[in-house]
Chains A and B, each alone.
Chain A
Amino acid sequence: MTVLFRRTRELEAQIDEYLDLIIQGGMLFRQGVKCFLEHRSDEFEVRLQELRNTEERGDMLRRGIESKLYLHTLIPESRGDVLGLLESADEVLNVITATLLRFSIENPELQDDLNPLFRDLADNAIDTVEATVSGCRAYFRNLAAVRDHISRAQAFRGEVNRIAETYMRAVFRRELRLSHKNQLRRFVTHTEQIAEDADDVCDRLAIAAIKRYV
């Protein structure tokens, strides 16, 4: 019985650590975008490297959690939902990393006067992720609070969509090369995708929470 409870505590700690890594990834993205917009390229590259390390650690941790859940046949009724949540949350971290990596590879020429709008976009996208992670934590410990976190995440996601549209309209009204406009649009879409993926996690979360209600 002691083994059962020790194993449980270890796994709980690992799940918490995994969710912490997603939060950390979001913060690094936020800081990375800020550094890019302020043309502090060295600091940007440091943030990107930290984010890649975080993603790698997240992948390892997730695989470990998944194999332990299967190996010890834990939470048989909710295992599918939990694995689905962890995998879709991992997708969010992957998109965060991939988006920041694109900044490093393509080094897009962002429009300085639109930078506050882009920062707002990135902030709201990461706010969506943070609300989603809070929802995931609540799923494990405080089921009644899941709905509140999902509502917050959906509100942030709506804001992301609105800002993205505003940014793209502004870009396409300008006298720029079409290729440049398209590049900027892609960066907005990639950042928007972070919130979209977080929203997908919320959809899974809402169903999983209903199933868990006693």
Chain B
Amino acid sequence: MIWFFLLSGLFLGWSLGANDAANIFGTAVGTRMIRFRVAATIASIGVVLGAVFGGAGVTQTLGALGAVNAIAGSFTVALTAGLTVAWMSRSGLPVSTSQAIVGAIVGWNWFTGSPTDHGTLITIVSAWVFAPVLAAGFAIVLYRMARWWLARSRLHLLSLDAYTRVGLVFVGATGAYALGANNIANVMGVFVPASPFRDVTLGGALRVSGTEQLFLLGALAIAIGIHTHSYRVMTTVGSQIFKLTPVLALIVVLAHTLVLVTFSSQGLQTLLHSLGLPAPPLVPVSSTQAIIGAILGVGLIKGGKGIQYGTLGRVALGWVMTPLVAAVLSFVLLFVGQNVFELQVVAR
């Protein structure tokens, strides 16, 4: 039965892979700088590695928001997030898996009468506001650096093309790792307390925890989503808000990656703490929000003429709607699950 319940998480992972990989490799594939098969393979490997080796920190924060303690509850919460993502996507609204899962967890707290940690909720919501702003800031700085360097390096157009391709592959791989590390909590975080996996030791040396195995399963679902459904999204992304050249795409993806790393790297957090500096919280931020913030930053510094403000308005509406829709839908589905299907959605 537990494997059936995990299916909703895998569905959510699949939809995350189908939508969010386009943020990383969309422009590169859309402009034919990188072939889809190459992009999908790199993204899949990056996501799997990031999820397994870097996903723990963000998961703890989600756990602090609301500890979904029954497997049927986890199933419903993940299913709600998946349905919200699918529904909003069909409505043409850019959607964040992070916002959907947080909304669904708050809905679970609301339905079960569990307390919502307001401090954690405020931290997460603040990060959602701050992430696109930070991405825009990173993109502006990177854009200025790139212009300065390009003006001085006198690189041949063809050499620039070759360096951009290599850059897109490396930054894309890093972005995929960061996406896996930051967003695996959205997919599998709610199943951690009820994980069916036990710790195993491979070859007498390599210890793989149950959580890592769970994350690997979620990451594989993301990878399948990337391979099966992200091509169409990849080939249309990038030109919706502001038309990007390959160099601008590299800048935007790098800014997006820096934001995801900022909000998911335990190493960075430890380093900043040791230096006595304020460290960013480890929270699941939206890959879509980060990429849109970065595109907006580049668009603004280029004079803001090519920005599609109508699309931007729809994006903002999606950001407000997603957690609200997810919270309400979660409440409704939990009610149905408990009262119609007699599922135990909370352990008392």
* Neighbouring B residues of A78 by C-beta, 8 Å: 157
Residue B229 at the chain A interface, CB threshold 8 Å: no
How many residues from A make CB contacts under 8 Å with B? 22
Contact between chains at A142 and B33 (CB < 8 Å):
no
Candidates B143, B151, B159; contact of A12 at CB < 8 Å:
B159
B333-345, CB under 8 A of A: which get 1 and which 0? 0000000000000
Which A residues lie within 8 Å of B146 (CB)? 214
A187 at the interface (CB under 8 A from B): no
Interface residues contributed by chain B, number (CB under 8 Å): 22
Which chain A residues in 132-150 approach chain B with CB under 8 Å?
139-142, 144
A75 interface hit (Cβ, 8 Å): yes
A198 to B245, CA, bound (A): 28
Contact between A141 and B156, CB atoms less than 8 A apart: yes
Interface of A is mostly: helix
Kindly state the separation between the CA atoms of A78 and B160 in the bound complex, as whole angstroms. 12
Neighbouring B residues of A212 by C-beta, 8 Å? 157
Q: How far is the CB of A158 from chain B (nearest CB, A)?
A: 29
CB atoms of B162 and A76 under 8 A apart: no
Instruction: List chain A residues, Cβ under 8 A from B166.
Output: 1, 4
Contact B147 A76, beta carbon cutoff 8 Å: no
Find the B residue at minimum CB distance from A214. B247
A76 vs B165: C-alpha distance in the bound complex, in angstroms? 11
Our pick among B151, B159, B246 for the contact of A8 (Cβ within 8 Å) is B159
Q: Does B37 contact A (CB under 8 A)?
A: no
- What 4 pairs across the A-B complex have the smallest Cβ distances? A76-B32, A8-B162, A75-B161, A140-B157
18 contacts between A and B (CB under 8 A): A5-B159, A8-B156, A11-B158, A12-B158, A73-B32, A74-B158, A75-B161, A76-B32, A77-B31, A78-B157, A139-B157, A140-B157, A140-B158, A141-B155, A141-B156, A214-B143, A214-B247, A214-B248
